[in-house]
C-alpha cells in the first residue's frame, strides 16, 4: 500500500518510519523536512508536567510514549544515533513556592510509579555545581531528553534505508486519491497522513471541517555552548512561579527554553524573547553570561482547538491526521507513530491513543 505523509517534522517522520517498517511504501512530502517546531524543540522528556495533572487521557498517552521511548530509540540506533539520553532529570526549587510545587509533583510521580527521589539543597549543588543555591529538588533517574535534530536526521536515514522516500516539495491540495504539489506535479496515494504541524489545515481540497484548525503557538529558545558542558543533567529550574528548562547536550550545547506566545504565524526572534530567557537563566545559573552564544530561534507549536493531539482517521476516506501535539510532540512521537502505523495497516492501535481521534471535533 502506497502512503503519502504531508509534513516531515518529528511526527510525520516517526510515523513514516514505523509505517515503512510494517511493509507500507511511504513517501514523505515536505519542502524542508524537520525545519520547524521539531528543529528548534529542546527535546525535553520530563517525568511529567503540570499539564498532565488534570488530564487523565493525555496522561495515559504520555505514559505510553514514555514507556515506548527506550525501545523506539534502541531500534532507531540500529540505523543511526537517536540522540536519546535517559540519565535523569533534576527539578530544582529556588524559592519556597517552587519547593511546594515539587512536593505536589513528588506525590504525583510516586502515585504513577515513576521513579523519583527528593534531594536536598546540598544534593542539588553536588549534582549541578553551576546552579545558584537551591532550596531542594527532585531527581527522576529514568527520564531525560532527546536531541530532536539528531532524532529527525536518524528517522530520515532509517526511512530511506528501508526503502521509503522523502520528497522536498509542498503539498498544496488533495484531489481524490492524489496530492498536488507546489511544482504542479501529482502524487497518487492509497492512504494520506496530514502531519504538517500548524500548517496542516492550510492544505486545500478537503471538505470544510474535515481538518480542525491547528493554531500556531510561538516559542523562542536559546542555545549556548561551553566546553566542558556547564550542566551534567537535564534540568528544570523552578522560581518566581515558572519553570525554565535547561537541556545540556554531550557536545557542550545548552538549550534554554522557552517562551509561549500567541502571535499567529510569527516566527521572528525578538530581543525581548532573548532577554527574557537570558534573565531567567542568569537567576539560576550565575555563569550563564560567560557561555558562547550559539543560536536563538523561534518556531510554532501546533495547538488543536482543545490543545490535545489529533491522531487517526478523518471523516474523509483514506485521509488521516497526526498533528496538534502542542508542547509535547517530541515526547509523544513514539506513541503517535505506533498508533498511526496501526491505523494505516488496519491493525491494533495503542488504547491510550484512541481518545485522540480527529472525529471528536464532529
Ligand atoms: C521552542 C519550542 C520548544 C519545544 N520544546 C519541546 C520539548 O522540550 N519537548 C517536546 O516534546 N516538545 C517540545 N516542543 C513541541 C514540539 O516541538 C512540537 O510538538 C513538535 O515538533 C510538533 O511536530 P510536528 O511534526 O507536528 O510539527 P513541525 O515540527 O512543525 O513539522 C511540520 C512540518 O510540516 C512541513 N509542512 C508545512 N506545510 C507543509 C505542506 N503544505 N506540505 C508539506 N509539508 C509541510 C514543515 O516544513 C515542517 O517540516 C517545543 C516547541 C517549541 C516551538
CATH of the domain at 258: 3.30.9.10
* Helix, strand, coil tally for the chain in percent (to 5): 35, 30, 35
**Among all chains, which residue has been given the C-alpha cell 533517574?**
141
Does any domain span residue 337? Answer: yes
User: Residue 66: CB within 6 Å of ligand 1?
Assistant: no
Peptide bond into 228 cis (omega under 30): yes
Given 303, 330, 351, the domain boundary residue is 303
Does any domain span residue 257? Answer: yes
* One domain for residues 162 and 99: no
The CATH number of whichever domain residue 55 belongs to comes to: 3.50.50.60
Does any domain span residue 79? Answer: no
pTM over 0.85: yes
Number of structural domains in the chain: 2
* One domain for residues 131 and 222: yes
Contact between 237 and 217 under an 8 Å Cβ cutoff? The reply is no
| Sheet strands side by side (includes 186-188) | 171-175, 178-181, 186-188
Does any domain span residue 252? Answer: yes
Does any domain span residue 15? Answer: yes
Does any domain span residue 76? Answer: no
* One domain for residues 223 and 353: no
Given 303, 335, 352, the domain boundary residue is 303
| Sheet strands side by side (includes 44-45) | 44-45, 144-146, 84-85
* One domain for residues 279 and 220: yes
* One domain for residues 266 and 157: no
* One domain for residues 192 and 253: no
* One domain for residues 133 and 123: yes
**Among all chains, which residue has been given the C-alpha cell 531528553?**
145
Instruction: Classify residue 63 as exposed, middle or buried by CB count within 10 Å of its CB (0-12, 13-18, 19+).
Output: middle
User: Residue 170: CB within 6 Å of ligand 1?
Assistant: yes
Contact between 329 and 11 under an 8 Å Cβ cutoff? The reply is yes
Return the SS3 of 90: strand
The whole-angstrom distance between residue 40's C-alpha and the CA centroid of its chain comes to 10
pLDDT tens-place string over residues 264-300? 999 999 999 999 999 999 999 999 999 999 999 999 9
Query: How high is the pLDDT of residue 306?
Result: 97
Question: What is the bridge-based pairing of β-strands 89-93 and 234-239?
Answer: parallel
Average pLDDT over residues 105-115: 96
* One domain for residues 152 and 299: no
Show Cβ contacts of residue 59 under 8 Å, excluding neighbours closer than 6 positions: 48, 52, 112
CA angle, 43 then 29 then 198, to 5°: 50
Number of H helices, E strands in the chain: 8, 20
What distances in angstroms separate CA 31 from CA 8, 60, 182, 310, 320, one per listed residue? Answer: 9, 34, 9, 23, 20
User: Residue 325: CB within 6 Å of ligand 1?
Assistant: yes
User: Residue 216: CB within 6 Å of ligand 1?
Assistant: no
pLDDT tens-place string over residues 126-143? 999 999 999 999 999 999
Which of 301, 335, 339 for a ligand 1 pocket mutation test, highest count of atoms within 8 Å of Cβ? Answer: 301
Instruction: Give residue 326 CA to ligand 1 midpoint distance, Å.
Output: 8
- Interatomic CA distance for residues 65 and 62, integer angstroms: 5
What DSSP element (H or E) covers 323?
strand 319-323
* One domain for residues 172 and 290: no
Instruction: Give residue 301 CA to ligand 1 midpoint distance, Å.
Output: 6
Instruction: Output DSSP code: residue 31.
Output: S
Query: How high is the pLDDT of residue 158?
Result: 98
User: Residue 182: CB within 6 Å of ligand 1?
Assistant: no
What distances in angstroms separate CA 160 from CA 17, 25, 29, one per listed residue? Answer: 9, 11, 13
**Among all chains, which residue has been given the C-alpha cell 547536550?**
249
Through-space distance between the first and last CA atoms of the chain, rounded to whole angstroms: 28
The overall average pLDDT reported for the chain is 97
Instruction: Give residue 103 CA to ligand 1 midpoint distance, Å.
Output: 32
Query: How high is the pLDDT of residue 56?
Result: 95
* One domain for residues 297 and 311: no
Given 303, 330, 346, the domain boundary residue is 303
Closest ligand 1 atom to residue 218 Cα is: 53
Does any domain span residue 323? Answer: yes
C-alpha cell at 288: 550563564
Query: How high is the pLDDT of residue 49?
Result: 82
pLDDT tens-place string over residues 3-22? 999 999 999 999 999 999 99
Whether 362 shows a pLDDT value over 90: the answer reads: no
DSSP string of 188-212, one letter each residue = E-SEEEE--GGGGGG-BSSPTTSS-
pLDDT tens-place string over residues 29-65? 999 999 999 999 999 999 988 789 899 999 999 999 9
C-alpha cell at 88: 535523569
* One domain for residues 208 and 115: no
CA angle, 9 then 281 then 232, to 5°: 75
Instruction: Give residue 100 CA to ligand 1 midpoint distance, Å.
Output: 33
Return the SS3 of 81: coil
- Interatomic CA distance for residues 262 and 301, integer angstroms: 10
User: Residue 324: CB within 6 Å of ligand 1?
Assistant: no
pLDDT tens-place string over residues 183-201? 999 999 999 999 999 999 9
- Interatomic CA distance for residues 129 and 127, integer angstroms: 6
- Interatomic CA distance for residues 335 and 9, integer angstroms: 15
Does any domain span residue 311? Answer: yes
* One domain for residues 133 and 251: yes
Domain range enclosing 134 = 89-142+216-303
Amino acid at each position: 500500500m502506497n502512503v503519502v505523509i504531508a509534513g516531515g517534522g518529528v511526527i510525520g517522520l516517526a510515523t513514516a518510519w514505523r509505517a515503512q517498517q510494517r511493509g507500507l511504501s511511504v513517501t514523505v512530502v515536505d519542502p524542508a523536512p524537520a525545519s520547524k517546531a521539531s528543529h528548534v524543540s529542546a527535546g525535553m522528556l520530563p517525568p511529567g508536567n503540570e499539564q498532565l495533572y488534570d488530564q487523565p487521557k493525555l496522561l495515559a498517552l504520555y505514559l505510553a510514549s514514555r514507556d515506548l521511548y527506550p525501545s523506539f530509540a534502541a531500534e532507531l540506533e540500529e540505523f543511526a544515533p537517536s540522540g536519546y539520553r535517559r540519565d535523569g532529570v533534576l527539578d530544582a526549587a529556588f524559592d519556597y513556592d517552587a519547593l511546594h510545587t515539587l512536593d505536589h509533583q513528588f506525590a504525583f510521580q510516586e502515585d504513577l510509579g515513576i521513579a523519583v527521589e527528593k534531594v536536598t539543597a546540598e544534593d542539588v549543588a553536588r549534582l549541578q555545581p553551576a546552579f545558584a543555591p537551591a532550596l531542594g529538588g527532585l531527581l527522576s533517574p529514568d527520564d531525560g531528553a532527546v536531541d530532536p535534530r539528531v532524532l529527525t536526521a536518524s528517522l530520515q536515514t532509517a526511512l530511506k534505508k528501508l526503502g521509503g522516500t522523502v520528497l522536498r516539495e509542498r503539498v498544496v491540495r488533495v484531489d481524490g486519491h492524489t496530492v498536488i504539489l507546489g511544482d504542479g506535479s501529482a502524487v497518487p496515494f492509497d492512504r494520506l497522513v496530514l502531519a504538517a504541524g500548524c500548517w496542516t489545515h492550510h492544505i486545500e481540497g478537503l471538505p470544510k471541517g474535515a481538518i480542525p484548525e491547528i493554531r500556531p503557538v510561538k516559542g523562542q529558545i536559546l542555545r549556548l555552548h561551553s566546553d566542558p558542558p556547564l550542566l551534567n543533567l537535564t534540568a528544570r529550574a523552578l522560581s518566581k512561579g515558572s519553570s525554565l528548562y535547561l537541556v545540556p547536550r554531550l557536545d557542550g550545547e545548552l538549550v534554554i527554553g522557552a517562551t509561549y506566545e500567541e502571535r499567529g504565524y510569527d516566527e521572528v526572534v525578538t530581543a525581548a524573547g532573548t532577554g527574557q530567557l537570558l534573565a531567567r537563566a542568569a537567576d539560576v545559573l550565575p555563569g550563564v553570561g560567560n557561555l558562547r552564544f550559539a543560536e536563538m530561534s523561534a518556531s510554532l507549536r501546533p495547538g488543536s482547538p482543545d490543545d490535545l493531539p489529533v491522531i487517526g482517521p478523518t471523516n474523509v476516506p483514506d485521509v488521516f491526521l497526526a498533528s496538534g501535539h502542542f508542547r509535547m510532540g517530541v515526547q509523544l512521537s513514539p506513541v503517535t507513530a505506533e498508533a498511526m502505523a496501526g491505523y494505516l495497516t488496519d491493525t491494533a492501535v495503542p488504547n491510550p491513543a484512541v481518545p485522540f481521534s480527529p472525529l471528536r471535533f464532529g
